[in-house]
Amino acid sequence: MLGFLKALAKDGDFFDKASKDKISLVNRITQIKNEEFDMMDKKVFISHSGYDIDLHDKFKHLLVNGFGINRDSVFSTSSARSLMTGEKFEPDIKTNLQQSKAVFLLISSSYMRSFFCLSELGGAWALNKKIIPIIIEPVTLDLFNKTPIQGTQFRKLTDQGLTEIYDEFCEGQYIKKQNTTDFNKFKNNFLDEIRFLEQRDNEFIGTIIEERSSPIPQNKRCYQLNGLVRNDKQPVHGETHWIFYDYNKHGNLSIGDVIKFSVNDIEELKSWPDGLANARNIYPTNKKIIILNNHLV
């Protein structure tokens, strides 16, 4: 063994080659890590309505923890630390939109009623950014196709839709592929959370997605909400909640209205002769139901 080592010691070329190979390997590892850092550091822009902040916060949490995107690389108008008090936000939004590699559009009914949101959509389209439109009920394909990005592949906030976005981002090297188990955990948590309406103190905020006129009495109104009102009952598969009230107390609502209301009572699950199953009526209090997105902003 000693003779072998002495022979190697005399062979300077061997050690020079080994040293160069080691340096080359270290440089390659550094390059790969830098490429991964650059990939993870690409800025992402979330365009959303101010009435969808709760959804935005949950979606951003999914992007950071489930997709593995750097938190500092996710920008939106509601990012608390992104804008200084008293600062004009339009230039900051324009700059971040220009710097973003991908733009998520959370296209809700409130989004479609907002001049400002539609301006962000148009800006992303004009700048030829990678756009990921996410259509949120009750927005329809017909309504979506009235925007400049008509024909663009859109997704929905479903298990399949989120998985397709994740795979697309991995294949396009916008993100580094995460542990699949971790991604699925955060994805499932997100989907479970958005089943329920946002709650602020004793009031709930929800969107009207369907009107039910039959077999409803003429002096009553019944509208499907976009989520469930939290209560002490475990939700069942396919459960839907419908706000049900006297027309003389609260008047008419429209599909796409974002409403704030307080709850007086929650009915037991029931099925209707016309095929509607696992439906639960939500009875509001006499406190006025407020339409939050009644005006274009």
Phi and psi (nearest 5°) for 163? -65, -40
- Is residue 210 within 8 A of residue 224, CB to CB? The reply is yes
Cβ neighbourhood burial of 114 (10 Å; 0-12, 13-18, 19+): buried
Question: How high does pLDDT run on average in the chain?
Answer: 85
pLDDT for 80 equals: 43
pLDDT for 38 equals: 45
Nearest CA to 207 out of 279, 153, 142, 261 is that of 261
Q: What is the pLDDT of residues 56-89, one digit of tens each?
A: 999 999 999 999 999 999 998 776 445 555 566 5
Structure token digits, residue 124: 């992303």
CATH number, residue 180: 3.40.50.10140
Residues 118 and 214 in one domain: no
Containing domain of residue 98, as a range? 40-193
Residue ending a domain, among 171, 193, 215, is 193
Residues 206 and 223 in one domain: yes
Residues 181 and 46 in one domain: yes
Residues 106 and 231 in one domain: no
Residue ending a domain, among 140, 164, 193, is 193
Kindly state whether residue 141 falls inside one of the protein's structural domains.
yes
Kindly state whether residue 245 falls inside one of the protein's structural domains.
yes
In this prediction, residue 284 has a pLDDT band, given cuts at 50, 70 and 90, of very high
Residues 123 and 234 in one domain: no
The average pLDDT across 148-155 equals 93
Look at residue 270 and give its three-state secondary structure.
Answer: strand
Nearest CA to 182 out of 58, 67, 294 is that of 67
Kindly state whether residue 67 falls inside one of the protein's structural domains.
yes
pLDDT for 77 equals: 74
Kindly state whether residue 176 falls inside one of the protein's structural domains.
yes
Kindly state whether residue 26 falls inside one of the protein's structural domains.
no
Out of 32-46, 143-157, 276-290, pick the least confident. 32-46
Residues 70 and 163 in one domain: yes
pLDDT higher than 90, residue 206 = yes
Kindly state whether residue 20 falls inside one of the protein's structural domains.
no
Residue 247 amino acid letter: Y
Q: What is the pLDDT of residues 7-59, one digit of tens each?
A: 444 555 544 555 555 556 555 544 544 444 344 456 999 999 999 999 999 99
Residue ending a domain, among 143, 175, 193, is 193
Q: What is the pLDDT of residues 179-203, one digit of tens each?
A: 789 999 999 999 999 999 999 889 9
pLDDT for 28 equals: 54
In this prediction, residue 92 has a pLDDT band, given cuts at 50, 70 and 90, of confident
pLDDT higher than 60, residue 204 = yes
Q: Which helix (H) or strand (E) segment is 14 a member of?
A: helix 12-40
Tell me how far CA of residue 287 lies from CA of 198, 202, 252, 276, in angstroms: 18, 12, 15, 29
pLDDT for 260 equals: 97
Indicate the number of domains in the chain: 2
Q: Which helix (H) or strand (E) segment is 17 a member of?
A: helix 12-40
What's the whole-model pTM score? 0.81
Kindly state whether residue 24 falls inside one of the protein's structural domains.
no
| 3-state SS, one letter per residue, for 189-202 | HHHHHCCECEEECC
Q: What is the pLDDT of residues 231-251, one digit of tens each?
A: 988 899 999 999 999 999 999
Cα–Cα dist 195/157, whole Å? 11
- Is residue 110 within 8 A of residue 49, CB to CB? The reply is yes
Residues 183 and 202 in one domain: no
CATH number, residue 238: 2.40.50
Angle at 48 between CA 104 and CA 95, to 5 degrees: 70
Structure token digits, residue 52: 């969808």
